[in-house]
Chains A and B, each alone.
Chain A
Amino acid sequence: MELSGAQILMKMLMEEGVDTIFGFPGGAVIDIYDEMARTDIKHILVRHEQGAVHAADGYARASGRVGVCLVTSGPGATNTVTGIASAYMDSIPIVVITGQVPSHLIGNDAFQEVDIVGITRPCVKHNYLVQNTNDLARIIKEAFYIARSGRPGPVLIDIPKDVVNTKVVFKEPGEIKLKSYNPTYSPNMKQLYKIIDLLKTARRPMIFAGGGVILSGAYKELADFARKAQIPVTTSLMGLGAFPATDPLWLGMIGMHGTYRSNMSTAACDLMIAIGVRFDDRVTGKTDIFASQAKIVHIDIDPTSIRKNIPVSTPVVGDCKITLEHLNKLMAEADLGNLKEKRSGWLHQIKGWKSAGSLNYNQKDIIKPQYVIEKLYELTRGEAVITTEVGQNQMWAAQYYHFDKPGHFITSGGLGVMGFGLPAAIGAQVACPDKIVVDIAGDGSIQMNIQEMATAVQYCLPVKIVILNNGYLGMVRQWQELFYDKRYSCTCMEHAPDFVKLAEAYGAKGLRASKPEEVEEVLSKGLSTDGPVIMDFRVEREECVYPMVPAGAPITEMLLV
């Protein structure tokens, strides 16, 4: 059977189970678009290619499947870089398909030519320039395999226009065999026995879980492990939802804006079991005294994560879910003694730290951003899928919306991309049409990809946008307040659009709250309105995110208010 490159691409995408593509057309991909129109694949036309990648990312996180995005060559391709880098840092499986100028023009500075494979090399898990239509089917199959297996990540496929147009005899690619790529899923059992031994002697153990737990679907296994061993749990930003925030063993988030009890536990623990984390500097603060009294066990599918930032006494390379399954089995057989009794002192100490109330605030006459998030949590009963922009809004979302389940907190953790939240919300809403999806935003960030409002309206995606409008690039202003003697250099957003009118201009609904009494009403109205809504909350302008650990300080040196 003779098929064109475009037909092969579509066929292979459907074989991979792709039902939605986020993208933006152009000359280099016009034939692919022409072919796609003949398939059942749904295409979401974004307004900016950065939006397409973030949407594919949001789709992947909310659905647990690979997100796909399709863009043209040159500017289309370069516009995807931020989104690719963000997905790379957070290990999100996406496949980005870029058009390329015809092979014979490559290297000639042709119209809309750019070496996107070269540009993205440092921020993809892998990428391909397809040189022959005969390779296309295999490359697509490989790309999906690489994106979703091992430590997931973005894969880019650059396809020259002639490769798209050429017809070849289609051959089904065989099983994928990559000489060089064999992720280790099953842990070394000897190491697991060591962990059981450590559990026997530990007096003050804690678990530090991260995005890897969510990516490997180890939610249930983690909860079993923690509860059986009676070990308190903290998570990184990326790990929120990996362990129920309503569980008594929950410590809250760790790190720069982590809870007091979580950071103090880190300093006091004698055993830290780190699972699917990478010890980011926003977590550890000053590394040489991070968890300095503890033996550290580190479980991760990616060997490069282990001992990259922190010395580890027991390294375990393996999938978080498989490893925890094994550990739970071993624990059932082992005699760990009376755990309730053994841990009572430690858990009591933690309770004392909890009463420090590091997340307390005072709602008086101006709307506090924390209050907005808490009300949002109440009104959605904690069931909404939350995406965020970056800055204070992101941290308040992490602190005050409590996550009981994975897949409900979608944020650009590693790269910290302003402009991520709205397109990610669009992707998440496509993946979960029946859920409430809310983008928690700052007035600065929302303007970075506000054009995607049009996408939400066009496809009737009822995303809700909660803007914590402080008229500042708040998080940077906070640093200037605390560490630069209040010299607010270029952080006052002096001109912003009227977000209510802007919503209306896009054909969405706009609401505003300026007083604390209005918060609940605006939220309920916004949440119950069909279609996309922007809710503009005029919040206390100079509110800060607390607690806070100054960058580079030990994580126990916390500014509490």
Chain B
Amino acid sequence: MTEEKHILSILVDNQPGVLSRISGLFSGRGFNIESLCVAETIDPNISRLTIVTKGNMPVVEQIKKQLNKLINVIKVHELTGSKYVHREMALIKVNAKQENRAEILRIVDIFRCKVVDVGLDHYTIEVTGDEGKMEAILTLLRPIGIKEIAKTGTIALFREPK
């Protein structure tokens, strides 16, 4: 059976220890986590976790059931296959010597991202977008020289029906 990427959006009680219950469930049962993001929702008692995982259908079904079984898990949504928006964010610090500063700014412009920090020999760029966009900007910046990257995992929400 083929392994595919699945995005799970999980609402949980906003309590200490809940994240470790969830990450422990994945590690203890040999499930895979590609990325995990977590923060409070508008209800301060509830947090949303977005987990990107990989697995075949039976495995993903098990993951969802096992998550649902945790007492602190309120709701598990699978976003894969339905309409949803998803974003990642990255901060990319690039070498910015005199000779390539203009080119970097051109790239920033094309990708509609932002320079959030400038130094004598660096720019730090903030990018948001989907995976494809991340990959594309990195491909262009790599030859110029990337010093450091910090990336979030995916966050995602259903699209409301129009």
Contact = CB atoms under 8 A, between A and B. Distances in A.
Does A pair with B? yes
B71 A121 contact: no
A304 interface: yes
Nearest to B21: A121
A485 B61 CA distance: 43
A368 B74 CA distance: 55
Contact of A303 (B13, B16, B24, B65): B65
B69 interface: yes
Given A121-B20, A122-B24, A304-B62, A179 B74 contact: yes
29 contacts: A117-B17, A118-B20, A121-B17, A121-B20, A121-B21, A121-B24, A122-B24, A122-B25, A126-B71, A129-B16, A129-B17, A146-B71, A178-B71, A179-B74, A180-B13, A180-B70, A180-B71, A180-B72, A180-B73, A180-B75, A302-B69, A303-B68, A303-B69, A304-B62, A304-B65, A304-B66, A304-B69, A307-B58, A307-B62
B137 to A, nearest CB: 39
B132 interface: no
Contacts of B25: 122
A171 interface: no
A125 B65 contact: no
Interface in B7-34: 12-13, 16-17, 20-21, 24-25, 28
Contacts of A118: 17, 20
Interface string A277-312: 000000000000000000000000011100110000
Contacts, number: 39
Nearest to B69: A304
A178 B15 CA distance: 14
Contacts of B62: 304, 307-308
Interface string A295-333: 000000011100110000000000000000000000000
A414 to B, nearest CB: 15
Nearest to A317: B65
Interface residues of B, number: 22
3 A-B pairs with the lowest CB-CB distances in the bound complex, closest first: A126-B71, A304-B65, A180-B74
Contacts of B28: 122
Contacts of B17: 117-118, 121, 129
The majority secondary structure among interface residues of chain B is helix
A144 to B, nearest CB: 13
Interface of A: 117-118, 121-122, 125-126, 129, 146, 178-181, 302-304, 307-308
B45 to A, nearest CB: 9
Contacts of A308: 62
A181 B21 CA distance: 15
A349 B122 CA distance: 82
A179 B12 CA distance: 10
Interface in B55-100: 58, 61-62, 65-66, 68-75
Contacts of B24: 121-122
Contacts of A146: 71
A307 B61 contact: yes
A246 to B, nearest CB: 37
A127 to B, nearest CB: 9
A303 B69 CA distance: 8
Nearest to A150: B69
A178 B24 CA distance: 22
A288 to B, nearest CB: 13
Contacts of A129: 16-17
A422 to B, nearest CB: 30
A181 B20 CA distance: 19
B71 A181 contact: yes
Contacts of B69: 302-304
Contacts of B71: 125-126, 146, 178, 180-181
A118 B28 CA distance: 13
A178 B73 CA distance: 10
Nearest to A146: B71
Contacts of A125: 71
Given A179-B74, A181-B71, A304-B69, 13 more contacts: A118-B20, A121-B17, A178-B71, A179-B13, A180-B72, A180-B73, A180-B74, A180-B75, A303-B69, A304-B65, A304-B66, A307-B61, A308-B62
A519 B34 CA distance: 62
A118 B18 CA distance: 11
Contacts of A303: 65, 68-69
